[in-house]
Structure formats: structure tokens, C-alpha cells
Amino acid sequence: MIKDNQTLLNRIHVVVDALVIACTYIAAWFIQFEFFAPDVAGKLPLETYMSALVILIPGLLLLYHAFSLYTPKRVQGRRLEFGNIVKANTIALLLFFTIAYMQHEIDFSRKMLCIFYALNIVVETLVRNLIRMVLMSLRRRGLNQKQILLVGYSRAAEQYIDRIIANPQWGYCVRGILDDNVARGTMYKGIKVIGRIENLVVILPENCLDEIAITLGLGEYEKLQHIVALCEKSGVHTKFIPDYNNIIPTRPYTEDLLGLPVINIRHVPLTNTFNSMVKRSIDIFGALVAIILFSPIMLISAILVKTTSKGPLIFRQERVGLHNKPFYMYKFRSMAVQEIKDEKAAWTTKNDPRVTGIGKIMRKTSIDELPQLFNVLKGDMSLVGPRPERPQFVEKFREEIPRYMVKHQVRPGMTGWAQINGYRGDTSIKRRIEFDLYYIENWTVGLDIKILILTIFKGFINKNAY
């Protein structure tokens, strides 16, 4: 079973981390005293610095454990792991400074500790990513697999199987499905229904499973308590994948009412005042910097637009923004001037005769979107967020696409999670909204930075823009 392998891997990981801490600490000492300041008067002897490792190594390893860096998370993101490494090292550094201050140890080099802090975070991150890559490679080849049984055939079961098949690096092997309503032998993408739910009584004592995933359909939730009781007796790790994931967010926000758990249907981090202020500050700073950087391109574009076709330089179009409030979004005009009723009729299509020659280039390269930087400064838009839509299409999609209006709980953006994943222009609105909702529910400053960086590398050229 995988838990035996996991125990061994964790022990190896602890040893590797201890070596990384020791090596980076020694390297920091060498950099400080042999490279930056080789002749510092009154420096402490090498033995004094090295003796600090007796406290530093176990202390940092305990902090790594406290921040779940040894908990098996096959689908945990690199960003989350990096954040936990930074937190653990930051606390260790502050504790070290505090102890040195309380001991009146004024000769112990703070600069060396800061070098160690930075160096350890970098090396620890690189080593952990290397270990992650090795494990992923092993799992793709069918090694280090976690054996899973699904209880209940439902949409949730199918979606779970879809994701496991699409991500072999997770190392999940679904042994089968138990269900009372689907005939034995029924297959879904190679995964077979192997019996009824009561077969758990026979299967669990065999001790051949690492995990049970309860994927009951909505109509079978009365069986949930009995199934959980059976699984708990066996000691097998059990998790519940609800068949109403189209209702609850990807990261449910729960409250405790005197022992009664309450799940909030929607958790939007940007409704927090502090988060909102941080994002707005980044928007203002980023927009000002971008306007300065792209001013030559915008100047050339303005000249080309005015000299190649008749009409205004800037095209103003009504869009729906934060809290469903309309605003006018700015673009460089890329189409021939037309009647308002014609402009509202539909999206631009491939080989649309209304698009000008220079307009085609601007649309493909997203240069026509640059005036929206002024929308960002005004507060109508953000650098990153769901793309805003025209009022008539908002009215249409709110009736056709579940949860469509949730996107208006945050400011619309110039670029977004959907756009860098290929959902721009004439693409699936339903899939676009799924990506938008993920962004809204999982917003962090780090995610915004990631989207902006990916936009630079793959977001400007839009193959779906006509």
C-alpha cells in the first residue's frame, strides 16, 4: 500500500531538508565572511556559527512540519508549497533574531542570517520541485500509485475519473466503482462498476485500498452515514466528493455555529476590504507603469488608426462591470464606423468586412485593448479579472449559463484566467465562465502576478480575435 511508501518518502524528505539547511547555512557563512567581509574585526569563530545548526536544523524541520510540508498532497500547487516554505523560514529568521537579542549576542552576523534566509528558500524550493518532478515521472509510469475505490456512480464520479485520467502524474489508480443502481460491468473510460455498495463489508477487510472516495448521486445521500461508518471502522482514508459541485465553490467558506457547520455558497476573497485595497493599489501602479512603457506603441497605433480610416480614434462601448453597473470601455477603433444598432447586433466574426486593415493587426496582437489602461485608472476595470460583456449579452447569458452573474462580484479585467487558458474571442462562454469562477473564488496576489506574466508570454496574440 502507498502509505508504507509515503512513510519512507517522508523520512527521506526530512533528511534531504536537513542537508539543504546545513549546506545553505554553511554557504551563507562562506559568502558573508570569505567573499563579502573577509576581514571583519571581532567576528565570532567558525565553531560558534556552526553550533547554531544544532538548534536551527530541528527548529526549521518542525516549522516545515507545522506548515504541512510533509503532508502528502499529490495535487498541491507549487505556489502554495513555496508560500509555506517562505512562511516557515520567515518565522525561523525572526525567532533567531529574537533569541540573539535576548542573549545580547551582538557579534552574530545578521547579514549572514539574511543570506541564509534567501539562499535556503531558493534551494529548498528547487530541491522540492526536483523531487516533485521525479515522483510525477514515476507515477506516469505506473509506480507509486494510490489505490482508490469509488462508492456511487454519479456526475461527480465521472468528473473525478476524468481528472485522474487527464493527470497521470497524480498517481491515482481507480480500482472500480460500487453502486446500487448501475449494472455490474458498466464501464466509464475503462473504470468498471464492480458491485453493490454493501460489498464494502467484504472489500475493506482485505486492506488493499489506500483511499475511498464517496461519489454518491444527490438521490442517495441517505446512505452517506452508513458508508462513512463502514469506512471509519476499516481505518481507510475516506473523502467525500459532492454531486452538487456546480453549487458550492472550489474552496468552501465554512462557519461554526456552536458545533453546526455552515457552508457559504460563495466565497469571494475580493469582498474583503484589505484584499480589495491591495488589488486596487496594484492596479493603479501597474496601469501607470504600463501606460509609460506602451506609450510609443499607443502613439504609433493612434496615428495609423487616424490615417487609414475615417472616424474617431477611440471606440467607446458599453459594458457591464462591478455590481452589474454599466461603464464605457475604451479601445482603439479597429472597425469602420457603423450604426449603433448594427454594432450591437453580434460579435465580430472571421473575415468580418467591418474590420479595417490595421484593425486586424491590432486585434490579433491585442494592441486595440491598450486604452483600457485608462479604464483601470478610473476604477472601471482591473488589470486582471473576468472580461466584461455587453449588456444585451449579459441578459442572454444570465438565463442560459448557471452562475454567470457571479463574475460581476469583482471588477472586470483587461486579461484573466480564462484568457490565458485560450478562452478569448469566439470560444465557449460556458468554459470561460468556469475559469472566471475559479479565479474569483481562488484570488490571490500571486495568482494575479502569474496571470500577468503568462499574458506577456502567450496572452497578447489572440488566434480567436477577428
User: What residue ranges do the domains of the chain occupy?
Assistant: 2-140, 146-245, 271-459
Q: Which residues contact 307 (CB under 8 A, 6 or more apart)?
A: none
Backbone angles phi, psi at 312, to 5 degrees: -70, 155
Q: Say how far apart CA 232 and CA 238 lie, in whole Å.
A: 8
Q: What are 72's three cell numbers?
A: 502528502
| Contact yes or no for 175/111 (Cβ under 8 A) | no
pLDDT of residue 172: 86
> In the CATH hierarchy, which fold is given to the domain comprising 146-245?
Rossmann fold (3.40.50)
pLDDT of 62: 92
Residue 241 CA to residue 243 CA, distance in Å, equals 7
* Predicted local confidence at residue 41, as pLDDT: 45
Q: Is 270 helix (H, G, I), strand (E, B) or coil?
A: helix
Length of the chain: 466
What pairs with residue 364 in β-bridges? none
In terms of Cα–Cα distance, which of 437, 323, 424, 442 is closest to 380?
323
Cα 88 from Cα 91, distance rounded (Å): 5
pLDDT at 13: 86
Alpha-carbon span 450 to 187, nearest angstrom: 39
The answer to pTM > 0.85 is: no
Residue 143: the pLDDT is 75
Cell of 305: 488608426
Local structure of residue 426 (DSSP, 8 states):
S
Strand partners, 317: 329
359 CB-contact burial (10 Å; exposed 0-12 / middle 13-18 / buried 19+): buried
Place of cell 454567470: 404
Angle at 155 between CA 71 and CA 186, to 5 degrees: 105
Residues 168 and 140: their CA atoms lie apart, in Å, by 5
Judged by DSSP in three states, 249 sits in coil
User: Nearest Cα to 86, choosing from 49, 125, 47?
Assistant: 125
Q: Give residues with Cβ within 8 angstroms of 183, minimum separation 6.
A: 193
Indicate if the alpha-carbon torsion angle 193, 196, 199, 201 is positive or negative. Answer: positive
Dig out the grid coordinates for 235 from the structure.
481505518
Cβ-contact 272, 440 below 8 angstroms: no
Cα dist. 34→24, 40, 286 in Å?
15, 10, 40
Q: What does the alpha-carbon distance between residue 181 and residue 26 come to, in Å, rounded to a whole number?
A: 63
C-alpha cell at 87: 512562511
Instruction: Give CA separation, 439 vs 73, 337, 408, in Å.
Output: 21, 35, 12
Which stretches of the chain score pLDDT less than 50? 41-42, 466
The answer to whether 465 and 424 have CB atoms below 8 angstroms apart is: yes
| pLDDT at residue 465 in the model | 53
Q: What is the pLDDT of residue 330?
A: 94
Residue written as grid cell 571581532: 42
The DSSP call for residue 6 is: H
